Amino acid sequence: MAPPVTIESHLQRKLEYINEVIQNLGLESALNVFRLEIQDAGENPRTTRAGRIRRIIRNGDLVDGIADILDSPALKTQSAKTAIARDSILMDRVILPIVCTDFAAEIQALGKKITAPTNKITPEDLETFDIGALKDVIVSEAPHFFHVASHIARSGRNKDLDETTEEEEDTSMGEGSSGNGSESDPDYEPPSEEDEDEDDLLADGKEGKKKDRELMVIVALLILAMSYNKFANFLQCIVGYFFLTTGVPKRTTAVLSRMRITVSYETITRAVKRISDCLAREYRQCTKTELHVQTWDNMHRTYSVKKRLLHKSQHMSHETQPFILFMHPDSGLTEPLRMHTIDRTRATELNVHHFLLDYGHLKKVAAHHAFTVLWHKYTPDIQRILKAKNIPKPCFAPVYQLPIKKSCIYPLPTLKIDEGSIAGNLTVMNAIDKELGLNGDFYVDNNILQLTSGDWLTVRNTRKALCQRVECRSAADRREFVEPTIGPFHYQMAAQRCIMGNYWGSTKDISFLSKSAGLIRDNKVDITCKQFQQCDHLLNDIGKGHVLAYAIDFTGCHSIDEFGIWMKNNSWTKFWGMIEEIVERIFNPTLIQERRYEPGTTKKKKPGAPLALRDILMYQKLDACQKEGDVGRLEKVMKYFNVMFQGSNQFNYAKETIHLTACLELMPSWTFRESGSPQ
């Protein structure tokens, strides 16, 4: 017979004795006895038994004891293991203190690793920030906590599934599986990442939406790291920085700061000042050696006076925001332009031949964009047609494409100056030179040509400010090194306003843009085009609708479904012939003139529809040329809008089109041939 158990007996012998007693009594589990011991220790903390339990927990002997209990025959069922997880007393007083001791050490090490003082953050830290590298740091410093947190984040994927009963669990355990398959089973395959993503979609109930659970775990651990050591970490500083730069309200930032998602508002301000100082030193150095473009635009803001209670008054704040644009180092355009590379007197050689429209090129462009619309709508059918004739997908070859790369844009401090006047615009230019630490003598001595851009008002005031300085004696004082040109964005905005003004019309006629804007209930779309993105989306959608309508009308179909059947049953010759016929209809002036009235009547047949489609296709071409950097195609499509601007209220941009054409074809020492390549 085994020796009796005494107080001096080893813990292992005590546990074996408890198992023997439980088996003799016929109990199912030792968990109840163990729980009563812990509960008694909590209710009577002054007893000797409670002190012994505390010493056991502190010495770490309890871990071996729990392992022996879990390995006993009474705990081989799934229901017993589930009971341990649901036992709040056992979890709170035994398991959690042991686990949290290890987790606290990992979090403390992680906090020291990713601590980021706000006075040491640089712009390079923001640009090189990678969530994958941050994950590697977390896995190396807190591997156990990351593993447990990842399982917790994935535990809610199957929350909508019905829970299995205890009998099913016991049966599954008896068969050697846990319900989803066992590793000992030769047919068992672990779930892949794709299966987990599919489970996420099923659990969320929304098709196409996935949860980045790994990112959730990373953010949670970083928040715990800050909560433990009370020092900001890298992610929280970055989140706070972008909150401030994107205009998030202070109240939102304060609430998220209390949740430890971001740092406080004062800390964010210090980080922003630190980054601003680093950026200022960087762009001041780069402006002296690299090619850059100076651009500025007005910001008219209306501020209300809160002190006026009876009569709420407002005042206009005229401010100007300048920017500095640098070319990408891989673009090959980093060297500053020199004064001898341009000859302004050659602009007098412009004549009408420089502005003749190339209708053959414009028709090809329009056909390509119409094909793109149908391609996105009927991709499988067009692929079948191309494969049947062994024809590659039509694409428009660039005429002369610049090596456009992602440019670096630096915002300068906002100036409380109105650039609407000539004197104000000259003050803005002086303020920019003062901020950059440059002056006119620097440009003249180094033979540097400085490019500036903006809208029509900025270019006009800049040119007039340079020409009216007759009292200046030197080239530096007269700013002969400045060459103002229209900005591509402002030029596209002018084309947008021209199209919206021509086809806005009445809200009662379905052929006008105002009717389409009313149908989608977009209040931000109007004839003034103050919201560029909304108007751009509207024009693109209208263009797609017109192309589909013309295609359905040309094929004699009566619905989109019927046109889809036509696409499946016809060849490439008929398909491309349909596109060419659509382009011919919108570019043929005779056909457009015949649409003005029905023969023998005074009833109009909506002649604006083909004109609107033609202008929208050219607008899409202008947008594509600017994004691709194709100067050759841009120069050709600008001639089209030059004619349009002449007959609209945007006639000032027609002047800038002429000036920009001279800059592309005559003024530089290297000009463009008809093929588009430089000579």
The residue out of 28, 61, 86 marking a domain boundary is 86
Residue 301, judged by CB atoms within 10 A of its CB (0-12, 13-18, 19+), counts as exposed
Given this model, what pLDDT does residue 671 score? Answer: 47
- As beta bridge partners, residue 318 has 300
Nearest to 622 by CA among 653, 647, 593, 648: 653
SS3 percent helix, strand, coil of the chain, rounded to 5, is: 60, 10, 30
Q: Does the structure show a pLDDT above 50 at 176?
A: no
Half-sphere exposure of 434 (CA within 13 A, CB side): 8
Q: Does the structure show a pLDDT above 60 at 254?
A: yes
Q: Does the structure show a pLDDT above 80 at 46?
A: no
Residues in the chain: 679
Residue 423 carries which DSSP code?
A: H
Q: Check if the beta carbon of residue 469 is closer than 8 Å to that of residue 477.
A: yes
Q: Does the structure show a pLDDT above 60 at 181?
A: no
Q: 480 with 496, same domain?
A: no
Q: Does the structure show a pLDDT above 80 at 422?
A: yes
Give me the mean pLDDT over the 413-442 stretch.
Answer: 88
User: Would you say residue 585 lies in a domain?
Assistant: yes
Q: Does the structure show a pLDDT above 60 at 35?
A: yes
User: Would you say residue 6 lies in a domain?
Assistant: yes
Six token digits for residue 369 = 């964009």
Q: Which residues contact 319 (CB under 8 A, 6 or more apart)?
A: 298, 299, 300, 301, 414, 415, 416, 417, 418
pLDDT band at residue 60 under the 50/70/90 scheme: low
Given this model, what pLDDT does residue 594 score? Answer: 66
Q: 198 with 128, same domain?
A: yes
Q: Which of 408-412, 477-481, 510-514, 528-532 has the lowest mean pLDDT?
A: 510-514
Residue written as token pair 């085009």: 529
Q: Which of 131-145, 356-370, 434-448, 644-658 has the lowest mean pLDDT?
A: 131-145
- The better pLDDT of the pair 281, 73 is held by 281
Number of structural domains the chain divides into:
4
Give me the mean pLDDT over the 433-461 stretch.
Answer: 88
User: Would you say residue 34 lies in a domain?
Assistant: yes
Given this model, what pLDDT does residue 68 score? Answer: 60
Q: Which residues contact 484 (CB under 8 A, 6 or more apart)?
A: 452, 453, 454, 458, 459, 462, 463
Q: Does the structure show a pLDDT above 60 at 162?
A: no
Q: Does the structure show a pLDDT above 80 at 21?
A: no
Residue 329: Cβ within 10 Å count: 11
Instruction: State the Cα–Cα distance between residues 240 and 224, nearest whole angstrom.
Output: 17
Q: Does the structure show a pLDDT above 60 at 642?
A: yes
Instruction: State the Cα–Cα distance between residues 517 and 526, nearest whole angstrom.
Output: 8
Q: Does the structure show a pLDDT above 60 at 291?
A: yes
- The better pLDDT of the pair 273, 90 is held by 273
Given this model, what pLDDT does residue 512 score? Answer: 72
User: Would you say residue 631 lies in a domain?
Assistant: yes
Q: Does the structure show a pLDDT above 80 at 537?
A: yes
Q: 621 with 531, same domain?
A: yes
Six token digits for residue 328 = 């990408």
Residue written as token pair 């040309």: 554
Q: Check if the beta carbon of residue 664 is closer than 8 Å to that of residue 488.
A: no
Give me the mean pLDDT over the 309-337 stretch.
Answer: 74
SS (H, E, C) 582-643: HHHHHHCHHHHHHCCECCCCCCECCCHHHHHHHHHHHHHHHHHHHHHCEHHHHHHHHHHHHH
Q: Does the structure show a pLDDT above 60 at 166?
A: no
User: Would you say residue 673 lies in a domain?
Assistant: no
Give me the mean pLDDT over the 46-66 stretch.
Answer: 59
pLDDT cut 70: percent of the chain above it: 68
Given this model, what pLDDT does residue 595 score? Answer: 64
Give me the mean pLDDT over the 139-163 stretch.
Answer: 68
Instruction: State the Cα–Cα distance between residues 588 and 592, nearest whole angstrom.
Output: 7
pLDDT band at residue 667 under the 50/70/90 scheme: confident
Instruction: State the Cα–Cα distance between residues 242 and 369, nearest whole angstrom.
Output: 37
pLDDT band at residue 619 under the 50/70/90 scheme: very high
Given this model, what pLDDT does residue 213 score? Answer: 78
Q: Which of 67-76, 140-149, 432-441, 588-597 has the lowest mean pLDDT?
A: 67-76
Q: Check if the beta carbon of residue 605 is closer than 8 Å to that of residue 633.
A: no
- The better pLDDT of the pair 485, 64 is held by 485
User: Would you say residue 311 lies in a domain?
Assistant: no
Domain that holds residue 584: 356-398+490-665
Given this model, what pLDDT does residue 405 score? Answer: 65
Q: What is the pTM of this model?
A: 0.67
User: Would you say residue 129 lies in a domain?
Assistant: yes
pLDDT band at residue 431 under the 50/70/90 scheme: very high
The residue out of 55, 86, 117 marking a domain boundary is 86
Instruction: State the Cα–Cα distance between residues 18 and 5, nearest whole angstrom.
Output: 10
pLDDT in tens, 502-519: 888 765 555 577 777 776
Give me the mean pLDDT over the 170-187 stretch.
Answer: 40
Q: 594 with 535, same domain?
A: yes
pLDDT in tens, 107-131: 778 877 777 777 777 888 777 777 7
- The better pLDDT of the pair 197, 411 is held by 411
- The better pLDDT of the pair 560, 213 is held by 560
pLDDT in tens, 554-563: 888 888 888 8
Six token digits for residue 11 = 């813990």
Q: Does the structure show a pLDDT above 70 at 583?
A: yes
Given this model, what pLDDT does residue 323 score? Answer: 92
Q: Does the structure show a pLDDT above 60 at 19?
A: yes
Q: Which of 143-147, 221-225, 530-534, 620-624 has the lowest mean pLDDT?
A: 221-225
Q: 13 with 53, same domain?
A: yes
Q: 369 with 430, same domain?
A: no
Q: 415 with 434, same domain?
A: yes
Q: How would you classify the pairing of strands 448-454 and 482-486?
A: parallel
User: Would you say residue 247 lies in a domain?
Assistant: yes
Given this model, what pLDDT does residue 92 score? Answer: 66
Q: Which of 11-25, 368-382, 414-428, 621-635 has the lowest mean pLDDT?
A: 11-25
Q: Check if the beta carbon of residue 245 is closer than 8 Å to that of residue 279.
A: no
pLDDT band at residue 184 under the 50/70/90 scheme: very low
Q: 592 with 655, same domain?
A: yes
SS (H, E, C) 259-304: CCCCCCHHHHHHHHHHHHHHHHHHHHHHCCCCCEEEEEEEEEEEEE
Q: 435 with 571, same domain?
A: no
Residue written as token pair 């980021």: 116
Q: Is the dihedral of CA 470, 475, 477, 483 positive or negative?
A: positive
Given this model, what pLDDT does residue 432 score? Answer: 92
Q: Pinpoint the alpha helices (H) of 93-192.
A: 96-114, 123-127, 131-141, 143-154, 166-174
Given this model, what pLDDT does residue 135 score? Answer: 83
Q: 118 with 244, same domain?
A: yes
- The better pLDDT of the pair 508, 429 is held by 429
- The better pLDDT of the pair 551, 121 is held by 551
Instruction: State the Cα–Cα distance between residues 191 and 485, nearest whole angstrom.
Output: 59
Q: 542 with 635, same domain?
A: yes
Give me the mean pLDDT over the 341-358 stretch.
Answer: 83
Given this model, what pLDDT does residue 179 score? Answer: 39
pLDDT band at residue 188 under the 50/70/90 scheme: very low
pLDDT cut 90: percent of the chain above it: 3
- The better pLDDT of the pair 455, 107 is held by 455
Given this model, what pLDDT does residue 322 score? Answer: 92
DSSP 352-404: GGGG---HHHHHHHHHHHHHHHHHHHSHHHHHHHHHHHT-PPP-PPPSSB---
Q: 412 with 507, same domain?
A: no
Given this model, what pLDDT does residue 560 score? Answer: 86
DSSP 100-119: HHHHHHHHHHHHHHHB--GG
- As beta bridge partners, residue 315 has 303
Q: Which of 167-176, 494-503, 654-663, 665-674 has the lowest mean pLDDT?
A: 167-176
Instruction: State the Cα–Cα distance between residues 495 and 456, nearest whole angstrom.
Output: 13
Q: Which residues contact 132 (CB under 8 A, 6 or more apart)?
A: none
Q: What is the mean pLDDT of the chain?
A: 75
Nearest to 272 by CA among 130, 396, 122: 122
pLDDT band at residue 673 under the 50/70/90 scheme: very low
Given this model, what pLDDT does residue 606 score? Answer: 62
Nearest to 668 by CA among 339, 343, 448: 343
Q: Check if the beta carbon of residue 401 is closer than 8 Å to that of residue 628.
A: yes
